[in-house]
Every structure is written in C-alpha cells, then in structure tokens.
Structure 1
Amino acid sequence: MSKPINRRSFLKRTFYTITGIIGLSGGTYYYAKHIEPFLLTVKTDQIFSEKIPAPFEGFKILQFSDTHLGFHYQLNEFQKLVNQINDQRPDLVVFTGDLIDAPNQYDKQNLQRCAALLNQIKAPFGKYWIYGNHDHGGYGTEIVRQVMELGGFRLLQNETVMVEKDQEHIVLAGLDDVMLGRPDLDQTFDNITDDLFSILLCHEPDFADRSQYYPVDVQLSGHSHGGQIQLPFFGYIVTPPYGEKYVEGKYQIGEKPLQLFVTRGIGTTRLPYRFLCKPEIHLYTLKQLV
C-alpha cells in the first residue's frame, strides 16, 4: 500500500513540474531567472522591548544572509550588496550563513575578492557571522571561516558577545549550524540571565521552537529563502529542512514571546529562480518599550 503524502510533500514532488510550467512562458522564465533574483530590497522592522537599555534606543542592526556565491550570484552583484549595506549606515552588521554555495569549488581569486569586499562593510559596533549548512558542507568550514575573518567579521559559534554602548550592554549570541554543525544552546547561554536583552543568530528558523526556552528575546534567521518561488494558491514552493514552519517575516513564539525574524536572503540555490519572492537585506531598529 502506498504511503499517503501531506501537502508539503506533494508540493515538493511536483516542484519540477511547476518550474516546467514556469519555463513554458518565456517572459515569466526570463523574469524569474534574470530579473527578480537581482531586485534587492531593504526591509525594515522595529524591535520593541522593555529590556533595551536607553543608550540603544534607535540602534540599527543590519542582517544579510544566504548569498550563495557561485550559484547564479557573482561578485559584481556582491559589490552592489556591500554598497547598499553601507548606504543604510548600520551600527552593527550580522551575516546569518551560507556565504558560498559550494566553498571547495569556488575559485581562490574570487575568495580573495570576496574577503576584500566584506572588509568594505562599515559597522562601528562590529560585524558578526554564523555558519550555515552550505558553509559547513562541501569541506567549506575552514575556507569560509578564513574569508570571513579576512573580511573583518567575528564568528559566533555557540558563544555570546556583549555589545556595549555608553556603559550599557545587550547580548549578541550565535549558534553553530543546526543541520551540519553542533549547535549547543546550553553552552551558548550558560552565563546569560533573563534581565539582559539578547539577540540570537541561528541559520535555521525552525530551531526557534527550541531556543524559545532559553533567555532569547529575538532570533534572526535565514536559510528558507522565503520559499524562493511563491505561487498563488500554492504558497511557498522550495522550503528546506528546518525552514518549513517559519519561512519569512516575523513570528511570535512561546509565552514570552520570542520574536523571530526570517529574512528571504540574497541568493538562490538548487534552482536559479526567484518568483514573487524578491531578495532582501533586513534593517532592524531597536526601540524601548515604555
């Protein structure tokens, strides 16, 4: 007897059929492959909490994610991304994983150019990053780490850092990748108390169902690409493991509640299309809740 499939499984099984339908329309195909993937947008959100210290009122955090360099996304576009990041004048910049689609196959000269471009990003309160599954995959762990270090980014791998402004602090935490790394919430939040405002960087958004039980006020994630292709009546077409429940936008999770923000990211993977799902960087402004 055949095993029944749910809606998500059905959508994934019919994925290539749908992309074939898209391909039948020359204009739609051209738009989804050559236009929309490069229509980078800036999404803005305000993060409210009574735990945000007064000096951090109006503090700007910029998140970018999932560039997947080498797969339909090249360094000329990456230069434009860097320029747009700097145009926002963020106080702090975070990268939430998947820098290069296949790190061990990426040209060494391009790795050097990528590091130089990352080094152009300006953020007076620091630049931080976490591993995504593609960063660990393809023997890429040390390759990506070296590129990010040369680019002036500090890795947060199951650890926290105190961001200080006018003798007040907020917590920035980062987890190792959920799929191919060794994420450890106990280690990460060992010395963190609930009275401190804390932001967690975690590549896979669905892990918020676990991180909600730790002293985390906000989780910033990527990984899902916003479904990458969205179709009316079908919804999100491409959703990876740990990016199926929380796909894009803002969610409130648990009793606290935990505020989860999921960005669509920049690049593509598996198939070089975006449809009704423009790439984005995300700018957050911290606001005291009074």
Structure 2
Amino acid sequence: MKRKRTPQSSSKGLSRRRFFQWAALGLGGVALGNAFLREPTALQVERVEIPLPKAPAGRQVRIVQLSDTHIQEFRPYSRRVAEAANALQPDIILLTGDYIEESRNLPGALAFLRLLQAPAGIFAVQGNWEYWARIEGEPLRRHFEKIGITLLINQRQDVEAGGMDLSFFGLDYPSRESDLMTLQKQVDSRRVNLLLSHVPAFNHEGLDGSIDLICCGHTHGGQVRLPFLSPLYLPRYTGGFVSGLYRVGPASTPLYVNRGIGTSLLPVRFLCRPEITLFDLVGKARG
C-alpha cells in the first residue's frame, strides 16, 4: 500500500513570498533612508566646458554656479558647500536665486554667502522665494553689497578675468519679454556674455545669438527621480528643462540648469544629488 505524499508546495510558496516581501521592505527602507538622510547632502560637482570661438586660444576662466540653497539656518552642510566651492578656485561665482524661504532665514543665508571667495566677483539674481519672503529688490541688494555680492536686477556688469572681457546680465524674476530685449540691446558681441536667470523657461525665441551661456536653477533637478520616468514634480516656469545642458533659441544658445544645493517642500532627494557646477570657459579663437 502506497503512502500519500504530504504536499510541500504551499509552505515553500509561502516562505518564498515572505522572503520577497521582507526583501522589498528592506530595499524600501534603504531607499527612504538614502532619500531623507544621505542624498540631500551628498554634494556633487558637475564640470562643464564651454568653448568660446570669440576668445583667444589658451585663455580660460573658471566659474562656479550655486543655486537654490534654501537655507533655513547656517549648518555644517552650508560650510561644507562653501568650502567645496572655494576649493575649485573659481575666478567668478554665480548665484541663481532661492537663497531662503522666509525672511527670518536671511542671517543664515548671509553667513553662508559670506564664506564664498572669487577674486573677479560674485554675481547673483533673485528667485521666486525671495519674492514670496518679501525680501526682494533693494533691501536684498543692500544686504548682498555688505558681503561683496553684486545683485543684478535686469542689469549688466562687466569684469575681466583670465585675459577675457566678460559681461554678466541678470534677468530678474519674474521677467517680462521686454526685459530680455532690453538686456540684449546692451550686449557687446566682442565680449563673452553670460545671462543669469533663476527660471529656465522664458522667451527663448527672443534670443538673438549674442549671449554665450545662460545659467539657471529653480527646478532642483526634479529633486525626486525614478528610473526611466519624468520627475514627479517640477515648479512653474520650468518648461521641460530639468537639469544639465540644453540648446535653446534660434542660435542654439547653451542653457544650463543647476540641480541646486538645498531642498524645497520636503527635505528629500532621490537619484538627484545636490550640485555645484564648474564651468570652464575656454578660448578657441586663433591668433
């Protein structure tokens, strides 16, 4: 008489299912820990070379861009960002807005900005959070002047660095189409011309080819990214420009979007590390 076999498949299936459940929970916990604890301060330097046919060969200018610091109070991370930026030995530092979220955060932001060093100057534009905090315009300009930073509100500033003549144009937030037109009328095409704009989405069709590089922020790179998917959230005036280098307008002007230093809405980043951008402007003209 044959013995009946006791079925084993149900217990094996249950243990296998439990294993995958625990594995998924473990991976989820690791991802959450990374997103909230590690990645928001896992600073990354992105290096971008911009060739300049109008500048003499052999000439080079180093520019660091910082954006969207969203400082609430001065912390060790703020000091680490400043030290990392200074260690790149930039000739010039560009700041593209959203330094604070409330007016009471201004002392912490100024403490951070005071640490930055660039021999040829530090130039800045305002972001939407400065307007929402009601610390924009002349009051902010005066605070910045005291610590050696030039705030450009639809203005031009000329400097010389690395044997190049450069002009910086600050497109204010919010900007009108006429503001870009007015700035472009001030452009000297013989100089190297950089436009600072907090937001990447503005009238690119109005660009006439006289600007050599546009530096923007605002998007935080999406802040939370999932593989093969678009960002879960992007703020208004992003226009599909998330992070990195793009070409815009009739003349394919280079536009760079910095992922930012801080976080907004939630203190979280996932697959989207905070960024310091280092631009090497390299002369290519012969003779």
Question: Is TM (by shorter chain) over 0.5?
Answer: yes
Give yes or no for the alignment of 1:26 onto 2:29: yes
**Among residues 139, 150, 166, which one is paired with 1:170 in the alignment?**
166
| Matches for 1:114-129 after TM superposition, within 5 Å | 114-129=109-124
Partner in structure 2 of residue 9 of structure 1: none
Equivalent AA in structure 2 for residue 65 of structure 1: S
Contact (CA 8 Å) 1:266, 1:279: kept in 2 or not? Answer: yes
CA distance in 1, matches of 2:43, 2:162: 34
The 3 A distance-change label for structure 1 pair 125 and 256 is same
TM-score calculated relative to the size of structure 2: 0.82
Partner of 1:199: 194
Instruction: Sort the Cα spacing of 1:105 and 1:182 in 2 relative to 1 into closer, same or farther, 3 A.
Output: farther
Distance 2:205 2:235 in 1: 18
For 2:81 and 2:187, locate their aligned partners in 1 and report how far apart those are by CA, in whole Å.
34
Show structure 1 runs of 4+ deviating over 3 A.
Answer: 111-114, 142-147, 165-168
Distance (whole Å) between structure 1 residues aligned to residue 217 and residue 278 of structure 2 = 14
Contact 2:194 2:212 in 1 (8 A): yes
Out of 227, 232, 235, the position equivalent to 2:230 is: 235
Q: How does 1:100-111 map to 2 (within 5 A)?
A: 100-102=100-102, 104-106=103-105, 111=106
Q: Report if the CA contact (8 A) 2:247-2:253 is conserved.
A: yes
2:46 aligns to what? 43
> Kindly tell me: are residues 167 and 79 of structure 1, through their superposed partners in 2, closer, same or farther at Cα, counting changes over 3 Å?
closer
Q: Which residue of the partner structure matches residue 3 of structure 1?
A: none
Residue deviations 1:207-249 (CA, integer Å, cap 9, x gap): 2624523621210000011011111232212211111411111
Find the residue that maps to 1:33 and give its secondary structure.
helix
AA aligned to 2:127 is G
**For the residues of structure 2 that align with 1:192 and 1:53, how far apart are their CA atoms?**
19
**Mapped contact 2:217–2:257 kept (Cα < 8 A):** yes
RMSD: 2.7
Offset at 1:275? 0.4
TM-score, normalization: structure 1? 0.81
Amino acid in the other structure paired with 1:80:
R
Change (3 A) 1:77 1:167: closer
CA shift digits 1:83-133 (9 cap, x unpaired): 11111000000100000022x243xxxx44542432221111001100011
1:139 is matched with 134
Matched positions, count:
261
**Contiguous gaps of at least 5 residues in structure 1:** 1-20
227-236 or 134-143, larger mean C-alpha shift: 134-143
Which residue in the other structure is 2:19 paired with? none
**Contact conserved, 1:129 with 1:154, CA < 8 A, in 2?**
yes
Q: Which moves more between the two structures, 274-283 or 239-248?
A: 239-248
> Mind listing any 5+ residue stretches in structure 2 that lack a counterpart?
1-23
C-alpha distance in structure 1 between counterparts of 2:100 and 2:178, whole Å: 20
Identity %: 32
User: Where do 1:140-289 residues align within 5 Å?
Assistant: 140-141=135-136, 144-165=140-161, 168-178=164-174, 184-207=179-202, 209-210=204-205, 212-213=207-208, 215-289=210-284
Q: Which amino acid aligns with 2:236?
A: P
1:214 and 1:117 map into 2 onto residues whose CA distance is: 35
CA distance in 2, matches of 1:119, 1:163: 20
Bigger Cα Rg: 2
Partner of residue 59, structure 1:
61
